[in-house]
Amino acid sequence: MKKNACINCGKEETTISSFLRLCYQCLRSEFPRLLSHIQKLHSESRSKFGLPTHAPRTEDGVRCNICTNQCRIGIGEKGFCGIRENREGKLRPIWSQSRAASVDWYWDPLPTNCVADWVCPGGSSAGYPEFSYADGPEYGYKNLAVFYNACSFNCLFCQNWHYRQRLSPASPTTAEELASQVDDRTSCICYFGGDPTPQIVHALQVSRIARSRAQGKIVRICWETNGSMNPRLLDRAAELSLSSGGCVKFDLKAWDEGVHTALTGVSNKQTLANFQRLSSLIEQRPDPPLLIASTLMVPGYVDEEEVRNIARFISQCDPSIPYALLAFHPQFYFSDLPRTSRAQAERCLKAAQEMGLQRVRIGNVHLLW
């Protein structure tokens, strides 16, 4: 593979992104000085999709309290997620139906390739019989996989970047319409994306309607998220998962704030605080696990040092929290990086185990080389 040079230190590596043009060491040691370059690149990557280049900070704008970006949106402006705008002094979605969402969904037979399938009721014996139909994988049942077309981050390695082309639907979906897709063989709903955060209020409504209609049947509520939502909204999401046997899966993308900001365009402070907040609920329902973590092992940027620091943090919250290390596949603006090597994955696994975590695994092993 072609080597790219870091514009700061001059080092050449195949694991330096030709778009970012900065190495991991420089991001960690000189992030404040490199921030303007990083912000310029993220603005460039977003403008190509018609997204706001940064979170608006208009002095007399309306504040959006959905996520960590805390946008102050002026008249005619959009929030960072690109789906919420200020119309006549009120925040509205960019489509006409205020109680609808930009969302796609499909049914996924259980067990599925969910990040949590190895510890959740759908793919293991966890939670049986209160939260699962089977003492093992729920063969014959299905998951309603709900993909929200928006995100509060701007990951340069986004594995589902095509959602940026579907932000404004011709026919947005109401909570009633989505909840009606749950039938007698649907034992769980999983919200992901993009990220469910920008449209989490819609997902909360869907969850309540679906569980109310289930009338005592098992319908687990699960989330796969970057964890950047308002803590009060996280509490509401967690309560639905806690009572239904579902889980909340946090994608902890990096530990170092400079590395995280370079990769995602956003700080990880709120994500880490929310993860710690949610860990306090684990004792209320140890089985199945409420909180699960995952990290994408991006070559050159998320190596064993990052994983070790993330794992130390998780272990300090609760060493029983399951942690999945996921193999990276070249995508989006990081399309010139190599896939995760087996050697890197094994180093990351060892680092996580050394931090005292009791349940760690490598996922997407078919992508390793």
> What's the angle, vertex CA 46, arms to CA 45 and CA 49, rounded to 5?
110
Q: Is residue 115 part of a domain?
A: yes
Q: What is the pLDDT of residues 25-77, one digit of tens each?
A: 999 999 999 999 999 999 999 999 999 999 999 999 999 999 999 999 999 99
Q: Is residue 120 part of a domain?
A: yes
Domain boundary among 94, 123, 151: 94
Q: Domain residues for 176? A: 100-367
String of DSSP letters for 276-322: HHHHTTGGG--SS-SEEEEEEE-TTTS-HHHHHHHHHHHHHH-TTS-
pLDDT at residue 182 greater than cutoff 90: yes
- Domain match, 104 and 71 both: no
Distance between CA 22 and CA 4 in Å, rounded? 9
Residues 83-110 have a mean pLDDT of: 94
CATH number at residue 197: 3.20.20.70
- Domain match, 314 and 174 both: yes
Q: What is the pLDDT of residues 246-293, one digit of tens each?
A: 999 999 999 999 999 999 999 999 999 999 999 999 999 999 999 999
Residues 94-121 have a mean pLDDT of: 94
Number of other residues whose CB lies within 10 A of the CB of residue 217: 12
In total, how many domains does the chain have? 2
Can you read off the two tokens belonging to residue 176?
A: 């009633």
Q: Is residue 42 part of a domain?
A: no
Specify the pairing of strand 72-73 against strand 360-363.
unpaired
pTM (2 d.p.): 0.97
pLDDT for 293? 98
- Domain match, 106 and 89 both: no
pLDDT for 98? 83
pLDDT for 149? 97
Domain boundary among 94, 115, 147: 94
Q: Is residue 5 part of a domain?
A: no
- Domain match, 130 and 271 both: yes
- Domain match, 218 and 140 both: yes
Helix (H, G, I), strand (E, B) or coil at 19: coil
Q: Is residue 7 part of a domain?
A: no
- Domain match, 66 and 191 both: no
pLDDT for 62? 98
